[in-house]
Amino acid sequence: MPWNDFEHSIWKQLKKHGLEDRESFILAVSGGLDSMVLLHALKKLKPKAQLIVVHFHHGDSEIKEIQTYRDQALSMVKASAEALSLPFYSGKSLEKLTSEDAFRQQRLKFFSQIKADFSDAILITAHHKDDLLETWLLKMIRGTGPESLENFKFWNGQILRPLLNFTKAELAEYAKTEGLTWLEDPTNQQNDYLRNWLRNEWLESLANKVPGSLGNLTSSLQRLVDEIQKDDEPIAISYESLKNNSQTKACFDRTEFLQLSHSDQFKTLATALKGIGQREFSQGQLEEIIKRLDKNQKDLIFSVAGVNWFINAQQVMLELS
């Protein structure tokens, strides 16, 4: 079955981080929307790889609704793994867990135990863009240094997060298209947990007050994180050596551009635009240009930020409209 745009996007990120040839993965699957999407997508992208499904039961609960959900989630994930002929491992907390941090620590402890038996496997979690924003805000609320913000990324050498470029709404659309089923954790509506309050109250109020604000906030924080990352690799494109064919035209190598960090892609585009005399452009327009350049199409022609863009497999050429 051919891949769709969602799956192609994940594959490009795997290639970008040199992980496309890895053949052993541990998939943390809770049974919720995010992890069921992850399981389905990875099975399509890596049908011959060793995909190990792991599930952690957070323990017995005195609340019937929560107990029922946890038991049903375990059964559903196990059945899904068996239907795909994938190995399945589960763990369960024997103590009463009362905080989000305790849940996370117990899960990671269990995943580490599985990882010890599969040393070559990469642990994959289903964190998405909404989780990224929430995690950054929580870390900032609690007080943190820049290195803590940097650790939560697509691949940190320990954990792979293939869904970080997608919002929960985009995951839901993919799940609907693919006919997937999942379970909703009833504790997600309990605002006793700070993350839930942040998501259900503060961020929802902000989104209603200022439409589009959550995407803008995530993008702004991402640019800040990009700026503080220590990258010793040389930049593939020298901003000073962008080829200016005239005062109104410029071009640069498309392949080299796509290998840059998101921050350096911004700088390259901004430098190219200013080099041909266009200084009126927004961050949103730069984002749109980057998305278009990242498409699989070899030849593209479009107009953004008062500039005509002519794209082929090798070069990006721009000219004032």
Tokens standing for 107? Answer: 């899960």
Q: Among 121, 152, 184, which residue terminates a domain?
A: 184
b/e 78-112 (16+ beta carbons within 10 angstroms → b): bebbeeeebebbbbebeeebeeeeebeebbbebbe
Say what the pLDDT of residue 235 is.
Answer: 44
Examine the pLDDT at 49 and tell me if it is beyond 80: yes
CB 275: neighbour CB atoms within 10 A? Answer: 18
Containing structural domain, residue 77? 5-184
Contacts of residue 123, defined as CB under 8 A and 6 or more positions apart, other chains included, come to 25, 26, 28, 111, 115, 158, 159, 160
More confident residue, 74 or 284: 74
Residue 169, helix vs strand vs coil: helix
How many domains does the structure of the chain reveal?
2
pLDDT digits (tens, 9 = 90+) for 230-288: 443 434 454 444 555 556 788 888 888 888 888 788 888 888 887 787 877 777 888 88
Residues 20 and 138 in one domain: yes
- pLDDT at position 114, please? 94
Single residue among 117, 149, 184 that ends a domain in this structure = 184
Range with lowest mean pLDDT among 166-180, 190-204, 238-252, 290-304: 238-252
pLDDT digits (tens, 9 = 90+) for 34-45: 999 999 999 999
pLDDT at 229: 60
